[in-house]
Amino acid sequence: MRLLLLETHTLVWIFSQSENLSQPDRAALANLENELYFSIGGYWELGIKVSIGKVSIGKLTLADDWYDAIPRHMHRNGIDWLPILPGHVHT
């Protein structure tokens, strides 16, 4: 089992079924032994982009309900939230 932390573009590519995901990436994401996580920091990143008017990531335009759609898609795809905890800011 591996823990996979998905970066924001990867999460968007999963949801949009993008061809940007390589075959090895697709295999890792489909492997039920792997645990998939998306950081709440990435969700925050999307919120910042939307608030400054950047509603596109690459060729994908975020829908108006992105803030509800992302958690829904995560649930459907077996992706869990990785919170930011105080200990994460210590070096």
CATH number at residue 77: 3.40.50.1010
Cα–Cα separations (whole angstroms), residue 39 to 1, 43, 50, 71? 19, 7, 17, 12
Q: For residue 75, what pLDDT is reported? A: 95
| Residue 40: closest CA among 88, 84, 85 | 84
Residue 89 lies in a domain: no
Residue 39 lies in a domain: yes
Above pLDDT 70, what percent of the chain? 90
Specify the number of domains making up the chain: 1
Residue 9 lies in a domain: yes
The helix or strand, by DSSP H or E, that contains position 69, with its residue range, turns out to be helix 66-76
Q: What number is the average pLDDT over the span 68-81?
A: 92
Q: What number is the average pLDDT over the span 77-89?
A: 90
Residue 43 lies in a domain: yes
Does the pLDDT value for residue 91 go beyond 90?
no
Does the pLDDT value for residue 85 go beyond 90?
no
Residue 77 lies in a domain: yes
Cα–Cα separations (whole angstroms), residue 71 to 10, 15, 22, 53, 88? 15, 11, 24, 21, 22
Per-residue confidence band for 45, with pLDDT thresholds at 50, 70 and 90: confident
CA dist 26 and 46 (Å) reads: 23
Cβ pair 69, 12 in contact under 8 A: no
Chain segment 6-37, per-residue pLDDT in tens: 998 888 888 888 888 999 999 999 999 999 99
Residue 74 lies in a domain: yes
Domain that holds residue 68: 3-84
Q: What number is the average pLDDT over the span 46-50?
A: 83
The region, left, alpha or beta by phi > 0 then psi within -120 to 50, assigned to residue 33 is alpha
